[in-house]
Amino acid sequence: MPDQSDDIIRQYYEDVPLDEDYLLQVPEIVMMDDESLVDEPEIEVSSEMAFRKSKKTLEGDVLVVGAGISGMQAALDIADKGYRVIMIEKSATIGGNMVKLDKTFPTNDCSICTSAPKMVEVARHRNIKLITYANLSKLEGEPGNFKARIFRKSKYVDPDKCTGCGDCVPVCPVEVINPFEEKLAKRKAIYIEFPQAVPIVYTIDYDACVGCGSCERFCEPDAISFLEKSEDIEVSVGSVIIATGYELFEPLEMRREYGYGKYPNVITAMQFERLLSSFGPTDGKMKRPSDGEKPKSIAWIQCVGSRSKQLGFPYCSRVCCMYATKEASIAKELEPGMNVSVFYMDLRAYGKDFQQYYDKAKKMGVEYIRSRPSSVYQNDDGSITIRYMDTHTREVAEKTVDMLVLSTAIMPSKENKRLAEALGIEIDDSGFFQVKSIMTDPIMTTRDGVFLAGCNQGPKDIPDSVSMASGAAAKAVAPIIDRVKVIPTPDPPQKQVVGEKPRIGVFVCHCGKNIHSFLDTEEVARYSETIPGVVYAKDIMFACSEDTQKDIRQNIDALNLNRVIIAACSPITHGGLFEDTLVEAGLNKYLFEFVNIRQHCSWVHSHNKVTATQKAKDLVRMSIEKAKLLEPLSQEEVDVTTGVLIIGGGLAGMRAALALADMKIPAYIIEKDSELGGQLRHLHTLFPSDIKASEIIQPIIQQVEASEYITVYKNTTLENIEGYIGNFKATINSPDGEIEIDYGTTIIASGFGEIDMTGKYGYGQSQKIMTQTELEGRILKNDLPNPKKIVMINCAGAMDKERPYCCRIGCGVSIKNAKLLKEKFPNSDIYILYRDIRVFGKDEEEYFAKVIEDGHIKIVRYSHEEQPNVVIDDDGNLTVKVRDQVYNEDITIPTDLLVLTAQTEGDPSAHKLVEMFKIPIGPGNFFIEAHAKIKPLDFATGGVYFCGSAHFPKNLADTIAQAEGAASRAAIPILKGKITLEGITALVDDARCVGCGLCVDACPYSAIELTDEGKALVNEALCKGCGLCNATCRSGAIQQKGFNDHQILAMIKSAMFEVI
Amino acid sequence: MTQENEAKDEWEPKIIGFLCNWCSYTGADLAGTSRLQYPPNIRIIKVMCSGRVNPQFILKAFQEGADGILVSGCHPGDCHYIEGNYHARRKLTLLMDLLDYMGVDSKRFQMSWVSASEGQKFAEVVTTFTNQIKEMGPQTKLRGVK
């Protein structure tokens, strides 16, 4: 596939002084004259510096370094706002670590399926200039005016010519270890990392290549170019986002007691992901490395390299408990008879739906063993025996499994040090990038104008990375907000084709040998020409090459074609390219049909040329019949009203408003209380830095109230919502009466609170029993009597039938408050009764360990089955009885202060919003996002976003990242100013509509309503073109444009036609 | 008998496959990219969502002479349009009863869930289904019925 973004970008960067020889093709004569060129000393120099060309310059608005899921999200968020992104990635493809995963927790969504569309979007985006195989070497300047030096390595393959056919691979004689497959497989010296790589351009591994030239001889499009040079690029931008990700700990030296690298059947969790992946080295089959046999038992060891300063890193890696649970339950799902166990210290199922996911895994039969494994050894049959101490029974035991998976730590990239120097930013003790302030600015680095996204400042799961990436996009846009945005060049005027007879042009692609070798493309073209309506049919070498595009445009013009059919590869990867070709030739892009005769024909029927040719003819004929019925579709544009309505004036709502104000977008905050600040108003200090909550929240309130872009309505409730994305009208009930606000997008930040504990653990029966928030209120007011013995019960009301989730923050809060009490009452004894200590991520684990050690806090583990019992005697004395699970004994603690770490739930007002915005809500009144992994801040309903604890309880840093992320999402339609509607939408024929309303019920987007006249009416702004209504309508009145009944029936009919 | 068997060997079934754009069509792409081989009897019609498949399409295809029909969408819960595949599942399960009632063996009509990463599964589904239809012989009940 040619690098399509390149041409388009060049078109938009016309004022950029590109070097004249930018992407210049090496004259063929040079190659022919001197075939031994590769042997010349100049080229033998191992350093690629020798290849450097003179400098090239590029201009953009934001530079994004790293194109994993975080980088891609940040780039798309900025580009969608109309600013130019320059994106660099050190690998040959974008996608990062996420594409290596098989599935993602807790939904078991296929990982590549959710990341690949983003990759294609990045590559095709008009405002993103993608430079792969490149590194940043220096950053100079200040916010608004940075200059970055980029070194792009040569791939030795011309991106414009490479079609991604892969013919070069079998002929390459060199095999090297494949890092993408985590060393489980080999690849050739010429390679793409995986089949869905973007851009699909092969790369020659310079260090491995022996220069035999086989690939060059076999490459039909002549894409191999040993003379293609690396280059230095100077980039001018206004801000910089660093999204360089993480590396995984390799237990070769530290933690070598687990036998990794010594015993073949000990692998890392990422290697196991590759074994599960359908495009991995075993095609998704679980095989153990030593003999390829299917394992009958697998064990996971957790925290390998995490939670230990001596044996790796002091922090918790945050994701391992859940990925091990995911891998174990997938293994169990694939092989129900398999013995699957997880050796863990604390099971940290802290996130949204995590606890339920963990409970489900246990139900499936995954065995969780709370233990400390000390060593492993290999048996003669290749199986592995784990020696461990069970921390419940305190006994040393052994377990033998066929395969052992190590849940290895997330660690800072080894590149960080070099990159930090190049960027002029700082790194922390562990080697992650230092954030400006974990409590107030978790997205900023120590250098102004340089922002962070994803795991490069600490371990994170995917949704937290994506939220943070959006947040970084908001921050990065602020300094350049006044820059002129990219104005898309208008398309040439469209030819009028309605009412004309179909004049169809058919182009049948050879794709080099990929189609042509397995089916007779000339015959397909000859046959197509005989079908009525077809005026031109031709077979072509490469449909996607630039010269063919020109040929297609010329034919459209010369022969007055009004429908175009391309029989080639997949519309998923190449559809957009040909649509652009049509548009350039003045044809509506919907007058186009793509026939997939490569993936769906030549490649899957490569043993019988006759039947493959027959099938290709059928497929082309079916599309011709459909094409005759195609109509031009228009994509309406709707103006957007500026302004964002924010529901909730807590930390999340306020930080979202401030981020919007930085982008000069008006924000209207409605707060039901008399004061801004939300939950933070009731708290004394914050975890894990002991900073006073008031020191955080007061400056933010002041900033909000001082901002000229923010209007605050206190004591106000939302009464009604009308409209849709881009044009909402809210009616609010404020002390000044009813007010109407016209605005563009909505952010819901309605927050959360502790549940009512009445009736649980004696709450309500004694003044000495209180919740954590009440405790902090009492400390704030200084009205606590001097307690001698304090007990805290964690998970109070949590993880039961009614509220099956973990509250995510309780462990942190209890530890922080234990420290607070200890400082206030140094002579007191403090007990924390807990189920699992879930202090996840960086800083929290370290804080926890320090408090427990310094404060002599006693921690007692109890089980869900044996809950602590609170006894209040007649004199009002409190006693807590609990079964200590670690020492297996009952203990009785008389106490004069009992603090309940109460379960939390979303604000009760959330239910009202469900109706108003047609958004879903889940357990505990928390809203359900559009996609748990890649759309954590969006709803399926367009123009409505959410953040903070309305999503799920979270700490300060995560809340701020989400709030700024939601601001970025909400700003996109507003900064664009216009919304382009789907071309493929539903259309109602009023004469046929009987007003039964079935389509109204079927529509997942609430895009259809019944008018007063009893007719269905489609709101095109909301319609996403799925066609559910069409399949539901019993009178054929509602039709999906581009896929209407006539068009599909025409395909069905012609599919049955026998070709002689 | 021998003659009949011979006729059966020569006869190749015509199968129509409705694939959703987001999962199964892309899964079929991956089958291709992975060079997996499956029988060439299937003719693919792309729809945006499996929920777009109107029962009428199935009946019409049988009338036109299809011997087998496959509808494939995203896995339950993974629908690009939130719930389209649930609509498909509910509607087309009912259709199976109708087919049996009409005397068309409902095994000639199959639904499957194939995600964008399941190229292997797509090839397997098509292979198994094609072989099954081959076993069943030509569909004559609705062929040519107007």
pLDDT score for A8: 37
CB pairs under 8 A between A and B: 160
How far apart are the C-alpha atoms of B108 and A803, rounded to whole Å?
A: 45
Give the bridge partners for A713, in sequence order.
A670
Instruction: Give me the residue from A572, A611, A1030 closest to B26, CB to CB.
Output: A572
Structural domains in chain B, CATH included, are: 3-136 (3.40.50)
Choosing among A111, A569, A600, A935, which should be mutated to test the B contact, i.e. which has the most B CBs within 10 A?
A: A600
Contacts of B92 in chain A (CB under 8 A): none
**Helix (H) or strand (E) run with residue A299 in it:** strand A297-304
How far apart are the C-alpha atoms of A239 and A473, rounded to whole Å?
A: 10
Per residue in A393-446, pLDDT (tens digit) is 889 999 999 999 999 999 999 999 999 999 999 999 999 999 999 899 999 999
Strand, helix or coil for residue A518: coil
For B57, nearest residue in chain A (alpha carbons): A1049
Contacts of A1045 in chain B (CB under 8 A): 54, 56
Per residue in A758-787, pLDDT (tens digit) is 999 999 999 999 999 999 999 989 888 899
Dump strand ranges (E) for A518-647: 534-540, 563-568, 592-596, 637-639, 644-647
Contacts of A109 in chain B (CB under 8 A): 78
For B78, nearest residue in chain A (alpha carbons): A109
For residue A206, the distance in angstroms to the closest alpha carbon of chain B comes to: 26
Q: Are A1031 and B53 inside 8 Å of each other by CB?
A: yes
Dump strand ranges (E) for A767-866: 769-771, 789-796, 829-834, 858-861
pLDDT score for A428: 94
Rounded to two decimals, what is the model's pTM? 0.82
- Determine how β-strand A128-132 pairs with β-strand A85-89: parallel
Instruction: Give me the residue from B14, B32, B46 closest to A604, CB to CB.
Output: B32
**Helix (H) or strand (E) run with residue A978 in it:** strand A978-980
Average pLDDT over residues A290-317: 94
Chain A, window 917-946: residues with a beta carbon less than 8 angstroms from a chain B beta carbon:
940
Instruction: Give me the residue from B55, B61, B120 closest to A283, CB to CB.
Output: B120
How far apart are the C-alpha atoms of A541 and A592, rounded to whole Å?
A: 20
For residue A637, the distance in angstroms to the closest alpha carbon of chain B comes to: 22
Task: Report the candidate in B96, B18, B25 with the shortest Cα–Cα distance to residue B50.
Answer: B18
Average pLDDT over residues A473-493: 90
Chain A, window 1029-1048: residues with a beta carbon less than 8 angstroms from a chain B beta carbon:
1030-1032, 1040, 1043, 1045, 1048
Instruction: Give me the residue from A603, A608, A1051 closest to B35, CB to CB.
Output: A603
pLDDT score for B9: 59
Q: In chain A, pLDDT over 70 holds for what percent of residues? A: 95
Task: Report the candidate in A246, A354, A345 with the shortest Cα–Cα distance to residue A304.
Answer: A345
pLDDT band, residue A54 (cuts 50/70/90): low
Secondary structure (DSSP) of A96-142: TTGGG-SEETTTTEEHHHHHHHHHHHHHH-TTEEEEESEEEEEEEEE
Contacts of B66 in chain A (CB under 8 A): 1052, 1055-1056
For A1038, nearest residue in chain B (alpha carbons): B52
How far apart are the C-alpha atoms of B36 and B26, rounded to whole Å?
A: 14
The whole-chain average pLDDT of chain A stands at 90
Per residue in A534-591, pLDDT (tens digit) is 999 999 988 877 778 888 999 999 999 999 999 999 888 788 889 988 998 999 999 9
Provide the token pair at B81: 């349009």
Q: Residues near A333 by Cβ (< 8 Å), separated by ≥ 6?
A: A364
pLDDT score for A1058: 67
pLDDT score for A11: 37
Instruction: Give me the residue from A111, A277, A1028 closest to B81, CB to CB.
Output: A1028
Instruction: Give me the residue from B28, B34, B80 closest to A195, CB to CB.
Output: B34
Q: Are B52 and A1028 inside 8 Å of each other by CB?
A: yes
Chain A, window 668-727: residues with a beta carbon less than 8 angstroms from a chain B beta carbon:
none
For B143, nearest residue in chain A (alpha carbons): A1056
For residue B82, the distance in angstroms to the closest alpha carbon of chain A comes to: 7
Residues A190, A215: contact at Cβ < 8 Å? yes
Q: Which residue has the higher pLDDT, A44 or A1004?
A: A1004
Distances A839 to A562, A687, A809, A900 between C-alpha atoms, Å: 63, 10, 8, 18
Q: Is the pLDDT reported for residue A77 higher than 70? A: yes
Q: In chain A, pLDDT over 90 holds for what percent of residues? A: 76
Q: Are B43 and A619 inside 8 Å of each other by CB?
A: yes
Per residue in B56-93, pLDDT (tens digit) is 999 999 999 999 999 999 988 778 888 899 999 999 99
Q: Is the pLDDT reported for residue A232 higher than 70? A: yes
Contacts of B54 in chain A (CB under 8 A): 1030-1031, 1045
Q: Is the pLDDT reported for residue A835 higher than 80? A: yes
Q: Are A618 and B87 inside 8 Å of each other by CB?
A: no
The whole-chain average pLDDT of chain B stands at 90
Contacts of B40 in chain A (CB under 8 A): 601, 604-605, 608, 611-612, 614-615
pLDDT band, residue A53 (cuts 50/70/90): low
For residue B130, the distance in angstroms to the closest alpha carbon of chain A comes to: 14
For B85, nearest residue in chain A (alpha carbons): A1028
Instruction: Give me the residue from A113, A611, A1040 closest to B52, CB to CB.
Output: A1040
Instruction: Give me the residue from A984, A1051, A1056 closest to B65, CB to CB.
Output: A1056
Chain A, window 185-204: residues with a beta carbon less than 8 angstroms from a chain B beta carbon:
195
How far apart are the C-alpha atoms of A915 and A901, rounded to whole Å?
A: 32
For residue A218, the distance in angstroms to the closest alpha carbon of chain B comes to: 19
Q: Are B54 and A279 inside 8 Å of each other by CB?
A: no
Q: Are B51 and A1028 inside 8 Å of each other by CB?
A: yes
Q: Are B43 and A622 inside 8 Å of each other by CB?
A: yes
pLDDT score for A356: 93
Q: Is the pLDDT reported for residue A12 higher than 50? A: no
Contacts of A198 in chain B (CB under 8 A): none
Q: What is the ipTM of this complex?
A: 0.96
Q: Are B28 and A1031 inside 8 Å of each other by CB?
A: no
pLDDT score for A398: 97
Q: Are A1052 and B118 inside 8 Å of each other by CB?
A: no
pLDDT score for A548: 81
Q: Are B78 and A572 inside 8 Å of each other by CB?
A: no
Q: Are A278 and B61 inside 8 Å of each other by CB?
A: no
Contacts of A1024 in chain B (CB under 8 A): 81
Instruction: Give me the residue from A612, A1030, A1053 closest to B54, CB to CB.
Output: A1030
pLDDT score for A487: 79
pLDDT band, residue A920 (cuts 50/70/90): confident
Contacts of A1027 in chain B (CB under 8 A): 47-49, 51-52
pLDDT score for B144: 87
pLDDT band, residue A940 (cuts 50/70/90): confident
DSSP state of A492: P
Distances B34 to A194, A600, A876, B126 between C-alpha atoms, Å: 11, 11, 73, 15
Give the bridge partners for B70, in sequence order.
B17, B110
For B41, nearest residue in chain A (alpha carbons): A615
Q: Are B37 and A570 inside 8 Å of each other by CB?
A: no
Q: Are B81 and A1030 inside 8 Å of each other by CB?
A: no
Residues A986, A1025: contact at Cβ < 8 Å? yes
Choosing among B19, B20, B29, B109, which should be mutated to test the A contact, i.e. which has the most A CBs within 10 A?
A: B29
For B116, nearest residue in chain A (alpha carbons): A113
How far apart are the C-alpha atoms of A745 and A970, rounded to whole Å?
A: 6
Task: Report the candidate in A424, A418, A454, A417 with the shortest Cα–Cα distance to residue A142.
Answer: A424
Average pLDDT over residues A637-653: 96
